[in-house]
Structure 1
Amino acid sequence: MAANDQAVKVSVIIPVYNAAVYISECLNSVLQQCHQDLEILLVDDGSTDHSVRVIKSYQDKRIKLICSANKGVSSARNIGIRASTGNYLFFLDADDSLPETAISELVEALRINNSDISIGSYVQFSSASAELEKTIYPDNRTLDRNAIFQYICQYLEAPNKSPLFVFSWGRLYSADLIKNNQVYFNEHLSTFEDVQFNLDLLKFIDNISYTPKIVYRHRLHPLNKSATTQWKKSPEELFGFVAPVLSCTDLLKDELGNVKALRLVEQCLCSYTIIQLIRLCGGLKLSSFYLIYRYIKQLVNTDWLVSAIQNYKAAAGNSTLIPAQIARRRPLMVLIACYLHARKRYR
């Protein structure tokens, strides 16, 4: 169903894991939306706190609680997708919240442009800092296939400065687009699963609507609690970007040719590798030192990184020491350089 049809039902999918402290603020912000035709799917991913009890205290008939064993955020979102009955899907993290006009603004953007996806601006906030508004474009606009292609190139050149396809929150997706093309979150990834999800969808869309209106409030956590810095069994869990970034080669090669496409992909791989190594080493402890060192030693000898780092060009202001030590395959020097960089950046 197109967004310009009279009835637009939106399924809000909220994965929940030990979010009892935040879930009321999150859920209240959804219930207070100006757009009221909502289905609110809360997928509890095996919480061990009282998240489920808080959710059950709400009596609104639009709320549906689904309980699952702990399999991660991607599994929870996929469960929500399959259970949804709305025309459009909106993903919301349990520790985040929405301005009251969020969904109505995104529905209006879809209606005007008849798009399959609409994206808005967002605000970052934390207990330790003031709110920071993040706007990608200053005005309403529609991105056609060419504009999407150009943005992918921009993203590959500077992934930490090009967030349009990095998140799955703060946007409305056509449910038919996702379900008809069988695009789901990769449950084997614990990081960068949003990137792969969005890149997989880009193969099937003609345009994207963007509004500069604030449609999402994203909570920042300290470095040691961030999803991009936490790992359970192996530091490798933080490097889930490899598969989705490599998939960009197929999106670009027809326009750029294999060589140019590969160069862009390699630039992105190196950028993300350095970013994640800094985050990984920022949480370094004596108990994890050898495990991290052993992983870095393996990483700097990985074929794709050995090849990619030879052509990497550090942007102005970025570290040149870290890529130089990676190129020389010096794991201890990489670890020390990343640790010092992280301490300076996140102090």
Structure 2
Amino acid sequence: MTYSIIVPTFNSEKTLSACLSSIINQGCQDFEIIISDGLSTDSTLAIARNFNDDRIKTFSEPDAGIYDAMNKSIERAKGDWLLFLGSDDLLFDAEVLEKVKNHLMVTDAAFVYGDVKMVGDTPWAKDGTLYKGETTLPGLFDANICHQAIFYAKKVFVDRKIGYDLNYRICADYDLNLFCASRYPIQYVPVTIAYFNSGGMSTVVPDVVFNREKWLNIVSYFREKLFDEDLGSSTKELKKTWKRFFKRFQIGMSILSFRIYWYQRFKKPH
């Protein structure tokens, strides 16, 4: 069992060395590191090459943003499990990959996640806290699981084909996680995976397109699985969704969404 650890970079000279060191110094050494660089003009590439480790594979080429860079790396990845780290993130300690490997060797899940430790404040977590423990399906509908905490089986991207949807500039990872939750077993493991630096765009900039389409995608991904009594708190969003499908002339999806809304709104109490 091997890992592909993907690190997109652009002018990352201040943070990349620490990020790569946190990977190279792991007790488990069954990994490759794929650096997808967007034509940095600083010493980012020199820093990566100075590690002189043939497991670090560096590609520098134009891209359309971080998710495009990650899609390019997915195509190049050889590992069984993929982990995505920002160039300013660090693996939590030297035993992370070994601890997670013990779970991955016996799991039936295709999406395995742990926690991250926050570095800096965000609107959704404070500096020094662990984010965010085991997440229920309604919890995922409400808020994303941190990208740096997730190990994806390679087959996820084989099935998905498009990888990250580039229409979502900030929240393509959230869209991917919703897709995964609708199709594969998901497993939480009580392991702190990484230090998550709060300075990225996802912590300060909203994704207007994703926010507009989030619940349309949830219905499209989950379909009849939304006939689940535990999801009753979603009725307000479902009511909006069937009307929006109708306006888009997606009549079949509108009918399905209305049926789900009707069930959730008027189901009998236990």
Shorter-normalised TM-score: what interval? Answer: 0.7 to 0.9
Deviation at 1:50, TM superposition (A): 2.1
Query: 2: distance between equivalents of 1:116 and 1:193?
Result: 18
Deviation at 1:125, TM superposition (A): 1.1
- Structure 2 counterpart of 1:10, from 3, 7, 10: 3
**Cα distance, 1:124–1:62 mapped onto 2, change above 3 Å:** same
The amino acid across from 2:140 in the alignment is Y
Cross-structure match for 2:99: 105
Q: 1:263 aligned to 2:235?
A: yes
Cross-structure match for 2:256: none
**Cα distance, 1:52–1:170 mapped onto 2, change above 3 Å:** same
The amino acid across from 1:263 in the alignment is T
Cross-structure match for 1:217: 195
For 1:332-343, what aligned pairs fall within 5 Å after superposition? none
Conservation of the 8 A alpha-carbon contact between 2:82 and 2:152:
yes
**Cα distance, 1:55–1:132 mapped onto 2, change above 3 Å:** same
Deviation at 1:71, TM superposition (A): 1.4
Secondary structure at the counterpart of residue 47 of structure 2: helix
Deviation at 1:253, TM superposition (A): 4.6
Secondary structure at the counterpart of residue 203 of structure 1: helix
Conservation of the 8 A alpha-carbon contact between 2:120 and 2:127:
yes
- Structure 1 counterpart of 2:214, from 241, 244, 247: 244
- Structure showing greater Rg: 1
Query: 2: distance between equivalents of 1:215 and 1:13?
Result: 14
Query: 1: distance between equivalents of 2:30 and 2:60?
Result: 23
Query: 1: distance between equivalents of 2:176 and 2:100?
Result: 20
Query: 2: distance between equivalents of 1:37 and 1:68?
Result: 27
Cross-structure match for 1:177: 156
- Structure 1 counterpart of 2:29, from 12, 32, 36: 36
* Cα shift readout 1:35-88 (whole Å, capped 9, x = no counterpart): 101110000022232212211212011000011214101001001100011111
The amino acid across from 2:237 in the alignment is V
Cross-structure match for 1:202: 181
Deviation at 1:30, TM superposition (A): 0.6
- Structure 2 counterpart of 1:187, from 152, 162, 166: 166
Deviation at 1:197, TM superposition (A): 1.1
**Cα distance, 1:254–1:92 mapped onto 2, change above 3 Å:** same
Structure 2 gap segments, 5+ residues each: 242-270
**Cα distance, 1:169–1:245 mapped onto 2, change above 3 Å:** farther
**Cα distance, 1:253–1:240 mapped onto 2, change above 3 Å:** closer
**Cα distance, 1:210–1:112 mapped onto 2, change above 3 Å:** same
Q: 1:126 aligned to 2:120?
A: yes
Conservation of the 8 A alpha-carbon contact between 1:43 and 1:65:
yes
Conservation of the 8 A alpha-carbon contact between 2:144 and 2:174:
no
Query: 2: distance between equivalents of 1:218 and 1:22?
Result: 13
Deviation at 1:202, TM superposition (A): 2.7
TM-score, L = length of structure 1: 0.60
* Cα shift readout 1:182-205 (whole Å, capped 9, x = no counterpart): 250012221111111111223331
Count how many residue pairs are aligned between Structure 1 and Structure 2.
Answer: 235
* Cα shift readout 1:114-155 (whole Å, capped 9, x = no counterpart): 32221111100139x852222413xxxxxxxxxx8xx33233
Q: 1:155 aligned to 2:140?
A: yes
* Cα shift readout 1:247-304 (whole Å, capped 9, x = no counterpart): 112345524459x6973536999xxxxxxxxxxxxxxxxxxxxxxxxxxxxxxxxxxx
- Structure 2 counterpart of 1:94, from 77, 87, 93: 87
* Cα shift readout 1:176-228 (whole Å, capped 9, x = no counterpart): 232244250012221111111111223331x222112211110122xxx6444
Secondary structure at the counterpart of residue 58 of structure 2: strand
The amino acid across from 1:110 in the alignment is L
Query: 1: distance between equivalents of 2:168 and 2:225?
Result: 29
Structure 1 gap segments, 5+ residues each: 1-7, 138-147, 231-235, 270-347
